[in-house]
Homo-oligomer: A and B are copies of this chain.
Amino acid sequence: MIRPSIQAMSGYVSGEQPAPGAKVIKLNTNENPYPCSPRVLTAIREAMAGGLQKYPDPLATAFRMRAGDVLGIDPDWIQCGNGSDDILTILIRAFVGAQDGIRYAYPGYILYRTLAQIQEATVDEWKFRSDWTLDDAFATANSRLRLAFLANPNSPSGTVIPANRVFELADALPCPLVVDEAYADFAETNCLRLVAENEKIIVTRTLSKSYALAGLRFGFVIAQPRIIEQLAKIKDSYNCDILSIAGATAAMDDQGWLIENRQAILATRDRLVLRFRDLGFETPPSQANFIWATRTDRPVRPIYEQLKRDGVLVRYLDYAGWGDGLRISVGTDSQIDALLALVEGMVS
């Protein structure tokens, strides 16, 4: 009874989520290690006091106005979603039908493949060069291609394709390019301003990482209004709830919190990178809240396994045709100290 294409697919496997209350240092799904802005909690309490029995604003107008102010974007260029996964789902359903094709830079966010499989679309993985840049052929047209994805900063590498290069690639592509900026608040640059310059450029954002709100589920897309109008037909009418709209709006309102949190994460990240390089790992230059660590002298999977036994969860990822590595989220300083102490014991 289930569609054969669904039965045949294996489904996306997200990073392990330990049971609530488990004593684990969790560095495997790039969550922010710090609590969100206190203003978020105040706003949620106030929204609760207004009652939960009515439907939320289907357009999350309060958030779009505030985000528009902060980012310098007209609210009509923004659509909100139940996490950026919801946004990515809406985008692929808008642009990609059965037998159409998508392309994405590889290794990247594996969810793009799952979303394509659900649409019965074909997948064209385009490999990064060994220095995590992309060659011009990423933009090559073919008759099926309907949507391209680029996580930027990329996962698992944390590396960034500069905005001018993204513009070149998008301009050459025969289809829209989704620039998935889940980690852009940690980076030195982003592609927001490109959306106005080329209708084919669509940027997605999430509050899960940089605003420490993975548990609240809130993301958004920035695109030209003619596209936003069409995306509105696909989203569930009430895809964001009263509490998440209130919390996300307050988060966006507290840019001071964002700046401080970002500084703390980046300082810890830089310390982690230096020490990991000392310990013989290779790590590309990360502009995200995680690092990608590989090494050639010994397998890294046993390191992941030993860390897990010791109560530290990092992400072991093995990319077919590319290789494996450890993707490690930047935790608090004490979490990273605990990680480093364990790793030092294993490799030195």
Contact = CB atoms under 8 A, between A and B. Distances in A.
Interface residues of A, number: 77
A92 to B, nearest CB: 10
Nearest to A26: B54
A20 B57 CA distance: 8
B3 A95 contact: yes
A319 interface: no
Copies in the assembly, this chain: 2
A194 interface: no
A232 interface: yes
B175 A1 contact: yes
Nearest to A32: B53
A17 interface: yes
A210 to B, nearest CB: 11
A79 interface: no
Given A44-B48, A93-B118, 7 more contacts: A35-B53, A53-B214, A82-B82, A83-B238, A111-B237, A217-B241, A243-B243
Interface of A: 1-3, 5-7, 9-12, 14, 17, 20, 26, 29, 31-36, 40-41, 44-45, 48, 50-58, 82-83, 85-86, 89, 93-98, 111, 114, 118, 120, 146, 175-176, 199-200, 208, 212-217, 227, 230, 232-234, 236-244, 247
